[in-house]
Chain A
């Protein structure tokens, strides 16, 4: 059967990615592990000495940990959202990017919650959350939502992996035994018969709709951690949708960056092509307009009505955080819009650049939501200890933040070692359906 031959071909094509480790990949992994170890050292210090080693104090009790938490969880949420949409609507060019998106979803959902744990003063009492649960606390909702989301995303990711595991199981004679065994185990007897295929497609489709819903719930609850408090700057009715748009913004940005790196590193130019970048770029454009709109309405209404406490907050933002504010909410929104709006600017490099600006801007935007609000409480901070008046992250917090990013990249690389970053089963499906030649994109994609 030609499908079997094709499968063999594909496995051959992708197996170098799975098996061969080049000198550079080893160096990279070494660097990443180094960052993670540095983070672990910082963590040990934080556990031994207490949270005093961070820049957090009585007023700013949450610092960049919670910002990273929001950032990673929102990455995950937007990954789930995008991947769900790609699957659900059977988007034509989805195959080359869908796995990247799925891996981002799951990996960031593992990294994100680690950051919230870092904010907790008594990790040894974490089980009290289950021993003495109180359902009216938004934190409890958050825990339930994130755990559900995590399980849902894992199931979904696994479902999308099954056909490739089966292909790898059937076509990897010359790989180590443990790998074969692993593939056999993970493929759970999938034989790619039409009935099995149909069933899997159906389940994946249902799951893709479900994880969109789960992601929206999880991220809404996360936004509520802030907006259900009484603090000026947090207590906002638009926070949940604002966070969702912001999440998509950074999510699409990170996907573009990942696409760029993977394309370059693994020489996948004929799979991840300019059309993908332009597609993702246009989505980023739409979301950046939306994000800019939300940001504007949020700050504009505060500025226009200038209630005392809102005015104090804006005062902090426009004085102490002036440049951060400009970067996060002007440059971080306008530069991507300008780059992506004009057709002639839309090259792979410039789109990636716009994505980087968007991601950095968004991280800073989250920072400006968390920190200045805590620095501007209802009752003015009257203290003489500088660290109690203004927050600045210490090396421990930075080390752990970079360790989180390194862990994200490392997990990503490790998963890419397990299954090809371009779903082989997807390519075969296209070949099956693409015989009619309806879509030139997929035709090209298949060489």
Chain B
């Protein structure tokens, strides 16, 4: 068994990947990939052994330290096509708790080195019908199981991995933009010109980090696989002060927003979870919990930049609010 006392080196990381990620069935019940977060310090301190499930179904013991501790590992474009073994990532967004705090947007922008207007995560103001009050609607890429963007890509620059994540290899992308027109959720963005930040090579390019960008190619939300490999939540999920964004593994039936860890199936079934535009057949891996029993009035969400409020001016409700002088 791996007695990993070296924290560095990609061999270790690969071995870890071969062993497989922690199984939900172990005694460290919370020691799922994500719950790891909470117990990280503790694990580092002890030389404690934990049990994990190998891809071929065997239960083995490994040193806690050798798990998920290789943040510096670089995943090349070729490696990034494989996906993290035995995982099926899902996100659940609780619309009842969202108040347009925009922490998810900003932390994502910071992590992916995006400009002010470049947003992998967008917060839209959606109104389902005339009678309904609008609600804040965070929208990442849905990492669809039937992704039209992947089907139409002529070079395989955008691809679907075994763990459900849809990524873009911007070394391979020819910029035909066909994927942008075929994504029904407007999740993709194009690098229209060269920007100085693209020249920053301090970090080698990996599709898992989407940094640095490249002119004439496509980019989008990547579900932060680099964080997932470290057992951490994607930036949006960990930065939301309201715990709106749950993230986890469908195979383990577990999602967490960093504070509470819940069963994915229970959450979806008890709270009426749904997927956006289900009828399109794209089978998203991002689920929404409807905006019922809201925790915040809609107006709370207008406590943001003037420019951002301007975005929502076409929503009739916002026009009313403006007329009443509330915003």
A236 at the interface (CB under 8 A from B): no
Interface string of A219-240 (1 = CB under 8 A from B): 0000001001111000000000
Whether the pair B124, A380 counts as a contact (CB closer than 8 A) is yes
Residue of A nearest to B180 (CB): A61
How far apart are the CA atoms of A378 and B4 in the complex, in Å? 50
How far apart are the CA atoms of A320 and B144 in the complex, in Å? 33
Whether the pair B180, A51 counts as a contact (CB closer than 8 A) is no
How far apart are the CA atoms of A86 and B240 in the complex, in Å? 69
Whether the pair B148, A120 counts as a contact (CB closer than 8 A) is no
What's the minimum C-beta distance from B74 to chain A, rounded to whole angstroms? 22
B56 at the interface (CB under 8 A from A): no
B199 at the interface (CB under 8 A from A): no
Residue of A nearest to B170 (CB): A122
B280 at the interface (CB under 8 A from A): yes
Whether the pair A137, B151 counts as a contact (CB closer than 8 A) is yes
A241 at the interface (CB under 8 A from B): no
A134 at the interface (CB under 8 A from B): yes
Q: How many residues of B contact A (CB 8 A)?
A: 46
Whether the pair B189, A121 counts as a contact (CB closer than 8 A) is no
B296 at the interface (CB under 8 A from A): no
B49 at the interface (CB under 8 A from A): no
Interface of B is mostly: loop
Residue of B nearest to A388 (CB): B117
A174 at the interface (CB under 8 A from B): no
Whether the pair B186, A139 counts as a contact (CB closer than 8 A) is no
Whether the pair B174, A129 counts as a contact (CB closer than 8 A) is yes
Among B156, B175, B312, point to the contact of A382 (Cβ < 8 A).
Answer: B312
Interface residues of B in 305-320 (CB under 8 A from A): 307-308, 310-312, 314
A385: chain B residues at CB < 8 Å are: 117
Interface string of B165-199 (1 = CB under 8 A from A): 00000001111111011101110111111100000
A22 at the interface (CB under 8 A from B): no
Interface string of B266-281 (1 = CB under 8 A from A): 0000000000010010
Interface residues of B in 103-143 (CB under 8 A from A): 117, 122, 124-126, 139
Whether the pair B154, A230 counts as a contact (CB closer than 8 A) is no
Whether the pair B181, A384 counts as a contact (CB closer than 8 A) is no
Interface of A is mostly: loop
How far apart are the CA atoms of A380 and B182 in the complex, in Å? 16
Also in contact, A122 and B217, with CB within 8 A (given A52-B192, A58-B180): yes
Residue of A nearest to B169 (CB): A132
How far apart are the CA atoms of A62 and B179 in the complex, in Å? 12
Whether the pair A378, B185 counts as a contact (CB closer than 8 A) is yes
A435: chain B residues at CB < 8 Å are: none
A203 at the interface (CB under 8 A from B): no
Whether the pair A374, B193 counts as a contact (CB closer than 8 A) is no
Also in contact, A121 and B217, with CB within 8 A (given A58-B189, A134-B156, A139-B152): yes
What's the minimum C-beta distance from A429 to chain B, rounded to whole angstroms? 45
Interface residues of A in 364-394 (CB under 8 A from B): 374, 377-385
Among A57, A120, A125, A136, point to the contact of B192 (Cβ < 8 A).
Answer: A57
B215 at the interface (CB under 8 A from A): yes
A133 at the interface (CB under 8 A from B): yes
Question: Could you list some 15 contacts between A and B, CB below 8 A?
Answer: A50-B193, A51-B193, A51-B216, A119-B177, A120-B174, A120-B216, A121-B173, A122-B174, A134-B156, A139-B154, A230-B182, A380-B126, A380-B314, A382-B311, A383-B117
Instruction: List the interface of chain B (C-beta within 8 A of A).
Output: 117, 122, 124-126, 139, 148, 151-157, 172-178, 180-182, 184-186, 188-194, 215-217, 277, 280, 282, 307-308, 310-312, 314
